[in-house]
Amino acid sequence: MLFIDSIVDRIRYVVGSERVPLHEPSLNGNELAYVTECIQSGWVSSVGSFVDRFESDLAAYTGASHAVVISNGTSALQVALQLAGVKRDDEVLVPALSFVATANAVRHNGAWPHFVDNETSTLGLAPLPLGSYLSEISEQRDDGLYNLRTGRRIAAIVPMHTFGHPVDMRELSKVTSLYGIPIVEDAAESLGSFLEGRHTGNVGLCSTLSFNGNKIVTTGGGGAIITNDEALAKRAKHLTTTAKQPHPWAFFHDEVAYNFRMPNLNAALGCAQLERIESFVEAKRELARRYAEAFADMEEATLFLERPGTRVNYWLQTLILSSDHAAQRDEVLKASNASGIMTRPIWELLNTLPMYRNCPAAPLPVAQDLARRIVNIPSSPQLIKGI
């Protein structure tokens, strides 16, 4: 089809003629030097100076007063939900259109995801329909908000900043304040994204980051919890390091806990990566400008751009197909991947996956529509020369 060839051509115009992956890490700063230092010092494991430094560098960069690094982003979200008070058989409000980890972290606490709609302006959780939905299905009781249909407590909400685009936290906060629901931000994709001058992840009770290999900053694998609440940060550290009480030798652990430490080896990589985040963001923003220009006169597909008041990391560059071309999405994926341009669709709607099919869900008209129309295209910062 003509418009499909045209999409491939326009991407090629921006990224050149080579085979192009979706997102590759750039590791030519101090990554090797720090990892070498780590191995030569012998401190490769769960205690070490790079762990401490990565935590303070993350806090400084995000503006949160505390950061606790963790072995994995999903595990970070699991623990963050526990910190927010989520208990077995509670419900947690989650956008229907998100990576599966957002819902899995809820189930890892024995709680149930309750899917709500996304919105077109941010790709993230939609505050306005949420407000009217909650007025219909919930009631306040002494110990929190309850879902009248399931009888379960609604214990938290997890806005996820899709591909780095911040959720409308101002409107969302109005709704959650009204209903008394704690916010845990899933900022796995939005390190480097700002909303009204503040780094994403600073509105909720606490937030989580991910440093998987495809993220803007990688530690190989890993994550973090960031928060402005000191007691909560201390508890995050305690819960992720076997809840051992400090003692020169005794093994006294005071609660059921995890061993989710980030090894010093991985933190060393993270420190080197974080030094370079502003150059990564700048490159990815420049890439977005070039894609936007290349697609400017195309009606069938447009590049999704940041909205006013945000400064987006453009973690994954996002094409949105027009509604009357949604049916051709898989053809676009096939043609681009066949030509050596790695592309992928947005995730399957979480409420359609077998394990979440019977979970509660609000009406999801926007999420259902977006799920059919989004294609991510090559997004590595190295696509801009000099990185």
Residues near a second copy, by CB under 8 A: 24-25, 27, 31-32, 35-36, 39-40, 42-47, 71-75, 88, 99-101, 104, 107-108, 110, 212-214, 218-222, 242, 244, 248-266, 269, 333, 337, 343-345, 347-348, 353-355
d(Cα 215, Cα 221) in Å, to the nearest integer? 10
Pick 27 or 305: Cβ nearer a second copy = 27
> Quick check: helix, strand or coil at residue 17?
coil
Nearest approach, Cβ of 259 to a second copy (angstroms)?
4
Do residues 149 and 125 touch, judged by C-beta distance below 8 A?
Answer: no
Q: How far apart are CA 123 and CA 160, in angstroms?
A: 9
Q: Nearer Cβ to a second copy, position 181 or 225? A: 225
Give the nearer residue to a second copy in terms of CB position, either 36 or 322.
36
User: Could you tell me the smallest distance in angstroms from the CB atom of residue 242 to a second copy?
Assistant: 6
Rank residues 21 and 131 by Cβ distance to a second copy and give the closer one: 21
Q: What is the DSSP letter of 183?
A: B
Q: Please identify, using beta-carbon distances, which residue of 249 and 297 lies nearer to a second copy.
A: 249
* Shortest separation between residue 140's beta carbon and a second copy, angstroms: 29
d(CA 169, CA 173): 6
Other Cβ atoms less than 10 A from the Cβ of 269: the count is: 26
At a CB cut-off of 8 Å and minimum separation 6, what does 160 contact? 94, 95, 98, 99, 102, 124, 125, 167, 185, 186, 188, 189
Tokens at 356, concatenated: 């979440």
Beta bridge pairs of residue 299: none
DSSP 288: H
- Report, in Å, the least distance between residue 185 CB and a second copy: 18
Smallest separation (angstroms) from a second copy to the CB of 128: 27
Q: Are strands 184-186 and 317-321 parallel, antiparallel or unpaired?
A: unpaired
Minimum distance, C-beta of residue 217 to a second copy, in the bound complex (Å): 12
CB of 213 to a second copy, least distance (A): 2
CA distance 329 to 343: 11
151 vs 251 by CB, closer to a second copy: 251
Query: With respect to a second copy, which residue has the nearer C-beta, 90 or 168?
Result: 90
Q: Token digits for 19?
A: 């085979």
- Say how far apart CA 291 and CA 7 lie, in whole Å: 11
Of the two residues 128 and 277, which places its CB atom closer to a second copy in the complex?
277
Nearer to a second copy, 199 or 373 (CB): 373
Q: Write down the least CB distance from residue 196 to a second copy, Å.
A: 31
Tell whether the torsion through CA atoms of 274, 276, 280 and 281 is positive or negative: positive
| C-beta of 73 vs 127, nearer to a second copy | 73
Q: How near is the Cβ of 171 to a second copy at its closest, in Å?
A: 28
Q: Name the E strands within the chain.
A: 66-70, 91-95, 112-116, 138-141, 144-147, 153-157, 184-186, 194-195, 198-199, 206-210, 223-227, 301-303, 310-311, 317-321, 344-345, 374-377
CB environment 326-339: b (16+ within 10 A), e (fewer):
eebbeebbebbeeb
Q: How far is the CB of 250 from a second copy (least distance, A)?
A: 7
